């Protein structure tokens, strides 16, 4: 059964790539996603800020290194297998501040406090063939 699914997946991927690749049309991406779900089961994926509980309070010119934790749970859908894993993805995330004049974040997850106020830091982690995981963190600079 699994061998048949692998053969079907390879045929589907080859057909999609022959039509111009996964990114050339929504239908190809949907078909590939469906085939992967059928082959590997369903997946639950989340990210969280691992080293801050609630609101982050900083003083002007203070810095804080975020640690972004990605958790993934996969169920094969047949009752035979489930697995769970965690990994830190801090360097692989995209960061955006709602108020860069209050606090901003560098590409490696380093929060830099600038001046008094409140900023919301949006964190996005994007995986291939999966919707992006997102989280937010409120930073108050006093």
What confidence tens digit (pLDDT) does each residue in 71-115 have? 988 777 776 777 788 999 999 999 999 999 999 999 999 999 999
- Same domain for 122 and 76, yes or no, is yes
Query: Average pLDDT in the 52-71 region?
Result: 96
Residue 69 pLDDT > 90, yes or no? yes
What domain range is 62 assigned to?
Answer: 43-141
- Same domain for 33 and 57, yes or no, is no
Q: What is the pLDDT of residue 4?
A: 42
Mean pLDDT computed over every residue of the chain? 79
- Same domain for 70 and 119, yes or no, is yes
Q: What is the pLDDT of residue 28?
A: 47
- Same domain for 135 and 75, yes or no, is yes
- 3-class DSSP string for the chain: CHHHHHHHHHHHHHHHHHCCCHHHCHHHHHHHHHHHHHHHCEEEEEEEECCCCCCEEECCCCEEECCEEEEEEEECCCCCCEEEEEEECHHHCEEEECCCCCEEECCCCEEEECCCEEEEEEEEECCCCCCCEEEEEEEEEC
pTM above 0.75, yes or no: no
- Same domain for 57 and 10, yes or no, is no
Q: How many domains does the chain have?
A: 2
What CATH number should be reported for the domain holding residue 119? 2.60.40.1080
Query: Average pLDDT in the 123-128 region?
Result: 88
């Amino acid at each position: 059964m699994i061998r048949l699914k692998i053969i079907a997946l390879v045929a589907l991927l080859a057909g999609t790539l022959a039509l111009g690749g996964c990114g050339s049309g929504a239908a190809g991406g949907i078909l590939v996603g469906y085939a992967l779900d059928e082959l590997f089961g369903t997946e639950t994926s989340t990210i969280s800020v691992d080293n801050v509980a609630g609101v982050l309070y900083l003083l002007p010119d203070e810095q804080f290194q975020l640690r972004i934790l990605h958790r993934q749970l996969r169920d094969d859908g047949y009752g035979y297998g489930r697995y769970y894993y965690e990994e830190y993805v801090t360097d692989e995330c995209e960061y955006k501040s709602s108020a860069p004049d209050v606090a901003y974040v560098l590409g490696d997850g380093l929060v830099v406090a600038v001046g008094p106020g409140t900023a919301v830091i949006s964190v996005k982690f994007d995986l291939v063939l999966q919707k992006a995981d997102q989280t937010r963190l409120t930073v108050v600079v006093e």
